[in-house]
Structure formats: structure tokens, C-alpha cells
Chains A and B, each alone.
Chain A
Amino acid sequence: MHILIVEDDAETADFLLRGLKEAGDVAEWCSTVEEALLMAPGKRFDAIVFDRMLPDMDGINAVRLLRQAKVATPVIMLTAMSGIDDRVDGLDAGADDYMVKPFAFSELYARLKALLRRRQPLESEPTQLQVGNLQLDRTTQRVTRGDQTIDLARREYKILELLMQHKDEVVTRTMLLERVWGYGFDPRTSIVQTHVSRLRNKIDKPFDHELIKTVRGAGYVISE
């Protein structure tokens, strides 16, 4: 991935640059909206990480300008505030996702990956998802592993669907809370862990090969 980071705080920028470099991606950094507007146009970047508070302009207005200039590159907005209004404002202005500081790098990375996948137009929502011998049919909502049909509760099904849509990518706890439960808050109780472990009991435990893996401090990944 080739990522542009627009962030006036050098420490945060460094944290992002290092993380992306370690993951094998290329990242460039600028600290003002002025520079960003010069650098962003064209197809050079796969995604832009935009800070909400920049010295020369509010990040929301900056994203709006980008979109008016027909720059379609996906944007993730970073903010220190967690108000729902800010989130809505950010998405209205044309940002594709929104993250509240402080965040774990793994969370940002997972969201960047998800964003790029979502942008690929040809792969329009397949109805059959497959990981190894695990199959999920989205029209009949039937889940099978090998020749065995597995009965899943509604939420277990949605978790599995999300994991399989992001095969080989980390899906974080927050992403699960947002997309499976639709919660904008973070319960102290480990409801995600509980439900993922129930899902594992059904699709992994009876078989010798585990498909769902825990990524410590980040989330879950499904892979062969």
C-alpha cells in the first residue's frame, strides 16, 4: 500500500510511518493541509490518513476540498474527539472511515486494509465465502465445514461472515462491535470474546485444524 499521512504531530506521524514500514508498505508524511492538497491528487496514494486538527485548516474542510477537487482516494480521519457529531461530520465531508485517538496501530492497519478491499469494484459481494473447507452461503445463510452443516446463532453467523469477508486480514474487536452489534460504545465486558469463543466451539473445536486465530492485542483473523 502507498499511504499519505497528514498529521501535524511528529510523534504520531512517526508512530504511523514506522508501523506501515514494518508492515512492508510505503508511507509519506506532510503536516499541513496546503502540502496535502498538492500531494494528494492523482492515483499516487492508495489511501490518506487525515488528522482532524491541523494548524492551517480543519481536517473536515480539507477533506471536503479534496472531494471537490475530484480526489477519490479513500480517507481515514483521525480525531481526538469521540462525539458522534464529529463522526457524522467527518463522513459527510467525504471521509470513508473515522478513528478516535489514541488508537492501536493494528486497528488502523486493519481498517486501511478493509477500506482498500471495499474500494475494489469488481469483487462485488460474492454470495459464497470460503476458507479452507469452511463454506458460508450468504443467500441461504448455511454454513458447512467439510460435509457437516453447522448451526450458528444469528450473531455467530454475522461474526463469521465478517471474518470470512476479510479472510487473512485482522478484524479488530472494535470493528466487530461496530459491524456485528452496531455499538458505538465499548462495553467493559468481553462480549466479543465470549461470542467469538462460542463460534469457535462450533466451527473449530470439532475439527483438527483451527481456522480462527486470535491476534494478541488486536483482534481475530480467519485463514487456512
Chain B
Amino acid sequence: MLSANSSMQIFTSRIFRIAAMWSLIFVVALGSLMGVYGWAQLERAQEDEISHLQERVDEIVNEIRHEGLEELIENYSDEFGPLWPQQEAEYFIEESEVLLLVTVGERAVLGFAQLSADLGLSYSDYPIGDNLEDIVELRTLRVDFGDDITVSGGLARSDEIANAKSFIHQIAFWIFVVLLPLLLVYGFLLSGYVISQLRGLSHSLASVEGGNIEARAATSDSHDEFNQLALDVNKMLSQVGRLVRNLENVSVGVAHDLKTPLTKLDHRLQRIEHDLNSPDDIRVHVEASRSHLQTLLNTFNALLRLGEIESGRRRDQFRKISLSEITEDVADTFQAVFSEQGRTLDVSIIPEISIDGDADLLAQLVSNLLENVLDHAKAGGTAWVRLQRNTSGAVMQIGDDGPGIPAPEHARIFERFYRLDKSRQAPGNGLGLSLVASIAQLHGATISLHKDQPGTVFDIVFKT
């Protein structure tokens, strides 16, 4: 799946180094914690053991001091005599009892003769079994006092200590031999995944940089961050693509939409020159010239306004406004124009829908969409303006029952200077819907065109 080369790249990648560092920190922290716990257990078990031994030896010493050695030997030799048989030691060891030995000089006088202990606390081996073939390690304590008397005690190491030791060993094994490699493998796979995802993205970006503006990052249906990132990148690339196409349209649009009125103006000026002796004709030409100039100025104004909207500066002036009132107001104004042209405008607006926005721009949005209807819908047709609430906010619908816009053109109608009418003879400058789109975008609203409905139906969805 991964070549040696890319494995190297993973090992040297920042994300793997981070994963490895965190694995180490985790393992060391966990190991220390467990180590401290195990060590405390061990200490406690050893203290118990020593105090048990100490108590028993002290008891014997006290008895010798108070009652004398003979009395002691007398007391302890009921069953077996003063020196106890070797078999009994095994029983003592199993029951965690202290093995005892009292000597006078070199001679054992009471207890287990096999027990040998150094002065004070120490360890020694003790043979058990029928032929003394097994060795048990004992913790020992020897106390010497007057008349060459020594008292020794021995205690087999308890299970608790063995358990604590084995616990420490096992923890060390699991943490350093099993967990750490697992974490490192996990870090490696995770890094590999992240790197391969990022590499996919950077490939598609490189491809775009190389001139293939249509290249997109691979996406899936999953909801993970990488897919989200890929989707965002693709969205950005689409936006860039639209801007590039916009720029192409702008060049064509400027060339055409600005050149046409200028040419007409030039014609009028030539005719003025020709009609110099007829003031009435000149008046007509001047009138026409001004109207051509007005067309030009309108285009420039629309471009300036687009620039202003797209700069986002007007967002600073947003305040709470009634979308219902603004829509109602514009619709009401246009209703007169519609009825004058023998068309119907059906207005249905839910009152008191408010959003944060710019009243003037929103009025222009509605106005431009209604002008679009006037320009393109069929004579005598019906159009409508609706404003309703939906789950996330409000939806405005402006539509007509006219010829509609062919589906392949849907994606492009919001581009600057884009005209359905390729001859560019129809009214308008191809900026009206661009303005609508930028106004919607400025307000965080989405605008869409119904695909499977006759006529042209725009939905603008606002968040309130």
C-alpha cells in the first residue's frame, strides 16, 4: 500500500513525530504511575513481614529475660522435645509462621536447628523436603544477648511480595513491549492516512495551479473533517472558476455593452453634423445621444455598485429590518407597472419577518428580480412574489409562468454580463442578476432556480 519512499516520508512527517512523542509521553506517564503503585504495594508487604518477624523474636527474647531459658524450653517442648523436626518447618512455612531457633554458644537448644541467621535483619536459604533438596528463601532476624544466647527467627517471603514484584514486571512488559509499539504503529497508520488525504488535496490544487481549472479533490459521502475540507476546497475552486469565467464574460461584456452605445452615440454625432441646419432634428439626436450615454452610465453604476457590495463594506451598516415590509413595498410599486402592461403580479407576504440587513440593497434585490420578470416573461402572464417562514428562517420566491431558462444556463445566469439572449438585443445589461446574487451572498442568503417547474422561479432562502 505504501512504498518504502512514502514510509520514510511518514516517519519524517510532523504528524508522525507528534504522534510518536505523545505515545512516548503517554507510556512514560502510565508506566510511572503503575510503577509507583507497585512499589508502594511492595513496601507495605515488606513492612508487614518485618514487623511479624520482629514481634515473634521479641516475644521469645522477653520470655527468656523474664522466665529464664529453661522455663522457655520447657514451655515449647511439649510435643516434639526442644528441637523440632524438619517436617514441621514446611508446615510453618506454608502457614507463614516464624521459624525459631535459640542457641547457647554453638549449641541449638530450642527450635529448628537448620536455621542459620546473620546478626540483625538478613536473608538466608533454608532447606526443606524429605532429602532437604528444596531451598526456601527466608527473611531472618537474629538477636544476641548475654551468656552467648542467640534468638533467631525466619519467615518465608510472603505471596504478597511476590505478587507485587510480578505485578511490576507485568506492567513493564505490557506498557513498554506491547502498548508502546501498538501506539507507534497506530501513529504510523494515522499519519499515513492524514498524509495521503492531504496529498490528494495538494495534488488537485497543484493541478489547478497547472491550469486545469476544472480539477477537483476527490470526495466521499462521509462526514469526516477531510471530506469536509475537500468539499470546502472544491467549493473554493468552483468559486475561483466562476470568477475566472466572470472575468471572461466581463471582457466580452465590456467590449460589447459599452461599445454598442458608444457606436450609436458616434452615429448620432455624425447625424448632428449632417443636420446642422435643422434645430428640430438636432434636438432629436441630442435626446437620443443622452439616452445612449445614460445606458453607458447605468452599466458603470451597476459595476460600481457590484464592486461596493462585493467588498462587503456595507455589512457594517446592517441592522434589524423588516424583510416583509421591504418586499411588500417593492412589490406594491411594481404591481402598478405590471397591471399597466396587462400582466398580473400576485403578492403573498407573511408579515413581520425580520432579518439583519441593508434595506436599500434588499429593495434592489426584489426590484431586479421583478425587472427580470418584466424583461423575460410572456406578455399577459402571471408572476408572483411570496415570502414565508421556513424552519431556518425565511424563503422568498419570485417566479413567473413564462418560457423559463434552459437548464444548462442555470449555473451561469448570475455571472456578470451573462445574457441568455446572445444577440444582446433584449433590454438589460446582464448585471441585474449578478447584483441579486451578490446582495443575497452579502446577506448570507442562498439563491436557487427551480429546475423542474415551468417558468422562471427563484428561491432566496434567508436565515433569520
Interface residues, chain A, with chain B CB atoms under 8 Å away = 81-85, 100, 102, 155, 181-191, 194-195, 198, 216-217
Contacts and interface: CB of A to CB of B under 8 A. Distances in A.
Contact of A189 (B317, B363, B371): B371
Given A102-B297, A190-B337, A191-B334, A185 B360 contact: yes
B148 to A, nearest CB: 112
A153 B428 CA distance: 30
10 contacts: A82-B305, A83-B313, A84-B317, A182-B359, A182-B363, A185-B305, A187-B364, A187-B368, A191-B336, A195-B333
B304 interface: yes
B427 to A, nearest CB: 7
Contacts of B363: 181-183, 185
B314 A187 contact: no
A84 B308 contact: yes
Given A183-B363, A217-B287, A188 B333 contact: no
Given A85-B313, A181-B329, A182-B363, 5 more contacts: A182-B360, A186-B301, A189-B337, A189-B367, A195-B336
Contacts of A182: 359-360, 363
Contacts of B259: none
A187 B360 contact: no
A187 B367 contact: yes
B169 interface: no
Interface string B329-346: 100111011001000000
A155 B328 CA distance: 13
A214 B235 CA distance: 52
Interface of B: 287, 290, 297-298, 301, 304-305, 308, 313-314, 317, 329, 332-334, 336-337, 340, 359-360, 363-364, 367-368, 370-371, 374, 427-428, 432
A207 to B, nearest CB: 22
Contacts of B334: 189, 191
Contacts of A185: 305, 360, 363-364, 367
Nearest to B364: A185
Nearest to A100: B301
A131 B244 CA distance: 58
Contacts of A82: 301, 304-305, 308
Nearest to A81: B304
Q: Is the interface of B mostly helix, strand, loop or mixed?
A: helix
Contacts of A100: 301
Contact of A191 (B297, B304, B333, B368): B333
A179 B313 CA distance: 24
Contacts of B368: 187
Nearest to B329: A181
A191 B298 CA distance: 16
B336 A183 contact: no
A119 B367 CA distance: 34
Contacts of A216: 287
Contacts of B428: 188
A198 B340 CA distance: 10
A180 to B, nearest CB: 10
A185 B298 CA distance: 10
A217 B284 CA distance: 12
A189 B287 CA distance: 19
A49 B359 CA distance: 29
A217 B340 CA distance: 22
B304 A188 contact: no
A81 B364 CA distance: 19
Nearest to A187: B367
Contacts of B305: 82, 185
Contacts of B304: 81-83
Quick one: which of A82, A85, A185, A190 has the most chain B CB within 10 A? A185
A217 B289 CA distance: 12
A190 B304 CA distance: 22
A173 B370 CA distance: 20
B340 A194 contact: yes
A196 to B, nearest CB: 10
A157 B337 CA distance: 18
B313 A189 contact: no
Contacts of B287: 216-217
A181 B360 CA distance: 10
A85 B334 CA distance: 28
B364 A198 contact: no
A186 B329 CA distance: 15
Nearest to B283: A216
Given A183-B363, A185-B360, A194 B317 contact: no
A19 to B, nearest CB: 15
- Please list the 8 inter-chain residue pairs (A to B) with the smallest Cβ-Cβ separation, ordered nearest first: A184-B360, A185-B364, A194-B337, A194-B336, A187-B367, A83-B308, A191-B333, A189-B371
Contact of A155 (B298, B314, B333, B427): B333
Contacts of B359: 182
A182 B361 CA distance: 11
Contacts of B297: 102
Contacts of A189: 334, 337, 367, 370-371, 374
